A and B are shown apart, each in its own frame.
Chain A
Amino acid sequence: MIRAVDGITLQIPAGEFVALLGASGSGKSSLLNLLAGLDSPTAGSVIVENQSLSGLSREQLAKYRRHTVGMVFQSFNLIPSMTVLENVELPLRFAEVERNERGTLAMNALEKVGLGGRLKHRPIELSGGEQQRAALARALINQPRILLADEPTGNLDSRTGTEVMELIRGLNESLQMTVVLVTHERELAERYADRLIFLADGKVVADQPNPARTTAGAKS
């Protein structure tokens, strides 16, 4: 049996921006899926806001994913047959928000990420950066307290990658939203995260505050 994540003990305080770093197959995405409630551990537990995810039913897990966490992925994961607006509205449908309210909320979210003019476009008609911003708007539409980002800049050029990361950092700072960023780019992690956690073979090999940001913070 392969242990994707093995013997990890971590505590992430609310409002922290954490980067999970490691090479491919180090277990960082698996750890993120556990935090997202998409996967469940064979042993051990994931406790979010004093609630153990392993004690939740499938229905309760869906509710958790709907309201507590928001996810963005490397490949954006927008539904190609839906317009940008419909994609962003989707979590609100599952949350049973009324149609009118849903439209307004989704439009506002898209305005905030600078896509107010692309509401009726399909994902394929958007650039990578725009797609990731739409995905971010979708992740945030239900006002989650935790944002889980799995290589969000992996498919973007450095300029648009920076734009997206700036957006995420801004959310972390303005809304005190907890952010868990999975990346293999150390530079990116050092630029935005408060804390760097290094994984290898499913284990934590280092867990440290981001020296770059602490110094930057001390400097400012």
Chain B
Amino acid sequence: MKLYDSVELAARNLRESVLRNSLTTLGISVGVASLVAMLSLGIGLQQLASRRLQRSGLFDSIVVTSRRDLRGYNREQEESGPAPAESPDLNETARLKIVNVAGVVEVYPDLRFITDVRFDGKPHLTMVAGLPFSSKDGDSFEGMQGKFFSSEDAHEVILQKTFAAELMGKPTRGPEEINVADVARPLLGKQVEMRYTEREGSVQDAGSYSVISHEISLTIVGVTDLDPDSMRGSARARLFIPQKLTEGMRPMQAYDMRASNGVTSNEPIYSNVVARVSGAGKVDAVEQAIKKLGFNTFSILDATKSMRRFFAILDLFLGIFGSLALTVASIGIINTLVMAILERRREIGIMKAVGASDADVRGLFFAEAGAMGLLGGVCGTALGWIIGRAINFGTNIYLRRQGFPPEHIWAVPIWLVAGALGFSFLVSLLSGLYPASRAARLDPVQALRYE
């Protein structure tokens, strides 16, 4: 019998016992729905975590250091590759090489220095760091008061809230006690004077340079909630200025003294540069490529690996719980079809008498199981989607009440829809295996005698 004939006959048979078959199909729908709801929740949470981490800028960044820098010898030094003394300097030339590595979006030197900042005539000592313009899109500055730098080299400054509180003369308490909006309001738009020392290379003598003191005026444009002790952003800095501006200032770095012993030119040497990669997935490959250039690298990729493992396990367990309902549903299919064989025994006998082969009868029962599976799969996926939306909706109401922005904790990717349909179809066919082969083996003489 042709497939469409089997399907047509199966559909007719399903319509004949519409209540029983609908209930069986409903059982499958509930099974598929629980599977879809569970997995979509797992996937949604994973995506949420990945999204947050991605935006934090930690997981797509690689810190590149020179092998000449022996401070982190035990931790970062690669055993393969050139020896420290033979390795290249981490300078502008190296930076350009790293930019050209496939997958690298931008490379910027990690510039920071400790200096005096004067506000209202009073000096304050702090760590200043250059902040690349691309940080604007990250979530490190979520909840910032004011705005981000207006251009890549604007004479503007963003303050960390504890430093802002210090400028305001407020006693320094724990960062959680400081309200960003309160400290930001009087400071935004005000000027601070910042001192720094410029490292000016000598034209005549490679390896020698002069140190010149400068002072510039900067406008406070933002106050951030960023915790300086957290790993986010440029660690421990409490005052941020645009990266391009910092590079142009050529501020004297703490390691300049140490580096001057080995340099062959008066080009500035960087302690470390940060390479931003187009996606967390490319970090590994880019790291390897940079190592080949003769530098040491460091990334927090391992943390994402363990996160991925955690979510894989979570998805597995959610999937197992979801599948339990589908297993119960598949027993329902077996039951329905076995009952159908008993009821339609005579019909099967008639079919065999008029020329149906075992395969025809088997195919017919398979088609019935498959049709219930497919229909149950479609309804179940829709139901799971609705459940997921409901969970999302409920969670967002809760989040809003708790004062958090709404989140997308639930996701139904197209592969999950296809997978759920395929899985439900497959499980149904498997469930139909026993009833179908039992129907096919039925002795036609016995079956025809059955009343």
Contacts and interface: CB of A to CB of B under 8 A. Distances in A.
Interface string B348-362: 011111111111100
Interface string B1-22: 1100100010011001000000
Nearest to B351: A90
Contacts of A81: 12-13, 16
Given A59-B358, A63-B355, A94 B12 contact: no
A95 B360 CA distance: 10
B445 A93 contact: no
Interface in B1-52: 1-2, 5, 9, 12-13, 16
A100 to B, nearest CB: 13
Of A39, A82, A94, A95, the most chain B CB neighbours within 10 A belong to A94
Contacts of B353: 36, 38, 65, 71, 73, 77
B444 interface: yes
Interface string A207-219: 0000000000000
A138 interface: yes
Contacts of B227: none
Given A81-B12, A93-B5, A94-B1, A38 B354 contact: no
Interface in A62-120: 62-63, 65-67, 71, 73, 77-79, 81-82, 90-91, 93-96
A65 B350 contact: no
A77 B355 contact: no
A65 B354 contact: yes
Chain A facing B: main interface SS: helix
A183 interface: no
B16 A62 contact: no
Contacts of B356: 62, 94
Contacts of B444: 38
Nearest to A82: B12
Of B1, B12, B353, B354, the most chain A CB neighbours within 10 A belong to B354
A63 B12 CA distance: 24
A57 to B, nearest CB: 10
A33 interface: yes
B307 to A, nearest CB: 56
B357 A38 contact: no
Chain B facing A: main interface SS: helix
A90 to B, nearest CB: 6
Interface in A144-202: none
Nearest to B440: A58
Contacts, number: 67
Contacts of A58: 357-358
A96 B354 contact: no
A38 B351 CA distance: 11
Interface string B212-240: 00000000000000000000000000000
Interface string B318-359: 000000000000000000000000000011011111111111
Given A62-B356, A93-B9, A139-B354, 16 more contacts: A33-B445, A38-B352, A58-B357, A63-B357, A65-B352, A77-B346, A77-B349, A77-B353, A78-B350, A79-B347, A90-B354, A94-B1, A94-B356, A95-B355, A96-B2, A96-B5
16 contacts: A38-B445, A62-B356, A63-B355, A63-B357, A65-B352, A66-B354, A71-B353, A81-B12, A81-B13, A81-B16, A82-B12, A93-B2, A94-B351, A94-B354, A96-B5, A139-B354
